[in-house]
Structure 1
């Protein structure tokens, strides 16, 4: 199981996310869009079942981190697409604000999430890796909404 999860995580970053994983997140986001939701319920749909399946396996923490990395690859890809959509809106002040905040986002996220590597791993399965997944996903959801807003007219 460990080798499979680490292999999946490595593949996710080397080749991009697995299409089946992307489909799960996309279907959830489409439902959220239709109902006017934010999409927060879509975060963890790939990592959480993977983490649950990895529980009780030797190297739980490494497996959990690999599961989080697998989904983080999806949200990272979605971030790039959302940023392009915001830029396509053409609002110079919005583009500058987003660009400026993106320059500090990853560093801030990584400093904050590092604390989760210092606590009992079972408290926050996947430790800093899962934190990065959640923080990136939530940021991406906001960028998606912003991209829609600046391209409405």
Structure 2
């Protein structure tokens, strides 16, 4: 009975959760970028850490390599978009794991918050395109990467917690 209920909730809830990230999936995830983040997250999982040290592992070296080019800002944004694609995928995976846990209150809370997350994140991050590009390299794109990564890390922890059986 619990399995059928969880499956029904999962089927009903996934479209809502995935809609919030539809705009982020335009950039496909590069396997090498995903491997870098996955390797870091596996190390963090062993130590029980949160994973914040894994944020920027793709974008930061890419941004550093792009410094000095004529179109630094455009390249910085492209670097951030590469890693954002990874964290968007990680978020989708984490959402599925939370839903698979079968805890109705957790599923409802996550689905409700996902409905507004992308819009809230994008409103905040738009401000970073209006500051000196050197202050936050990649502007709104890098902000979206960081906000999505932090969200993903929280959902990964929640997914692990609700699936401990």
Which runs of structure 2 are paired with 1:3-152 in the superposition (5 Å)? 13=25, 16-152=28-164
Distance 1:87 1:13 in 2: 20
TM-score by length of 2: 0.84
1: CA distance, partners of 2:27 / 2:129: 27
Alpha-carbon distance between aligned partners in 2 of 1:111 and 1:16, rounded to the nearest angstrom: 23
| Structure 1, unaligned runs of 5 or more | 1-11
What's 1:6 paired with? none
Aligned-pair CA distance for 1:17: 1.1
Segments of structure 2 that go 5 or more residues without pairing to the other structure are 1-23
Aligned residues: 142
For residues 92 and 36 of structure 1, the distance between their equivalents in structure 2, rounded to whole angstroms, comes to 26
Describe the superposition over 1:20-45 as per-residue Cα deviations: whole angstroms up to 9, x where unpaired. 11111000000000011100000000
User: Secondary structure at 1:73's aligned position in 2?
Assistant: helix
Report runs of 4+ in structure 1 exceeding 6 Å deviation.
none
- Give the alignment's TM-score, normalised by structure 1: 0.90
How many angstroms apart in 2 are the aligned matches of 1:80 and 1:42? 17
